[in-house]
Amino acid sequence: MLKTRIIPCLQLRGESLVKTVKFDKYGYIGDPINTVRIFNELEVDELSFLDITASKEGREPNYKILKEIADECFMPLSYGGGVRTLEMASKVFQIGFEKIILNSHVFGNPGLITEIADIFGSQAVVVAIDVKKNFWGKYEVYAFSGTQNKKKDPVEWMKEVEKHGAGEIFLTSIDREGTWKGFDIELIKKVSEESRLPVIAHGGGGTIRDIEEVVKSGKASAVALGSMVVYQGKDLGVLVNFPDKQQLEHSLEIR
């Protein structure tokens, strides 16, 4: 097991896996169940699934596909998308997921974090913070798959959700997501240095060197990978894979 968690982050659209670029255009990746089987064989430590349209469409999670995923998966699972009540979260936990990722619906109801954490524990509640730079280069937090600017500073919002009982922060740079350009080190470091919670860095990872940089320079506690684990390379075809674990260990060791 790697000392730093490297988490494949897979995007659901309906019952298919897709991969977006900057939360916008997307490419078809394949069937989630077959993909889970491959990650089982690759012995990854954790898997994350995000339904990218549930909140925008105002619907509940697709419990059927989540059940199929949980039944097939050997490793811990987290899920985000459309969860807006304690009852919905409970259903996802009962299916077999260990963590819920909250985002859009906690802006209007931050108490939802506390409700879920009080029953299932803070370690089971992850809050996703999606961030984009504005015209003047200031970071702003977005909701509903990057379509709603909440006019919040990511560090201040992180502190707010921390107070409500979040156990982890899933921090995404919308500007870097799906681009292979490397992580936004400035953003990750800003939030990580102010947070008492583990921060999962997401958005832009393209090489093992990018992973090393976001952990060592950006102070990320964990790293979520999208494009890197579903494509052969930038502008190349679909290939479900995982970075070489020995190379990762070598890169992430403190020297």
Kindly report the average pLDDT of the chain as a whole number.
96
Question: Residue 15 in contact with residue 26, Cβ under 8 Å?
Answer: no
pTM of the model: 0.97
pLDDT of residue 254: 60
Q: Are 219 and 180 in contact (CB under 8 A)?
A: no
Question: Which residues sit opposite 50 in a β-bridge?
Answer: 11, 80
pLDDT of residue 253: 81
Q: What is the pLDDT of residues 111-124, one digit of tens each?
A: 999 999 999 999 99
Q: Please, what are the domains in the chain?
A: 5-252 (3.20.20.70)
CB 13 within 8 A of CB 250: no
The confidence score (pLDDT) of residue 3 equals: 83
Q: Is 254 helix (H, G, I), strand (E, B) or coil?
A: coil
Give 119's Cβ-side CA count (13 Å radius).
Answer: 15
CA angle (144, 37, 181) in 5-degree steps: 50
Average pLDDT over residues 146-166: 97
Tens-place pLDDT, residues 42-96: 999 999 999 999 999 999 999 999 999 999 999 999 999 999 999 999 999 999 9
Looking at residue 208, what is its pLDDT?
96
User: Mean per-residue pLDDT for 110-137?
Assistant: 97
> What's the CA angle centered on 54, arms 50 and 57, to 5 degrees?
155
pLDDT tens, residue by residue, 236-250: 999 999 999 999 998
Which CA distances in Å does 204 have to 124, 141, 184, 200, 227? 25, 17, 8, 13, 8
Active site residues: 130
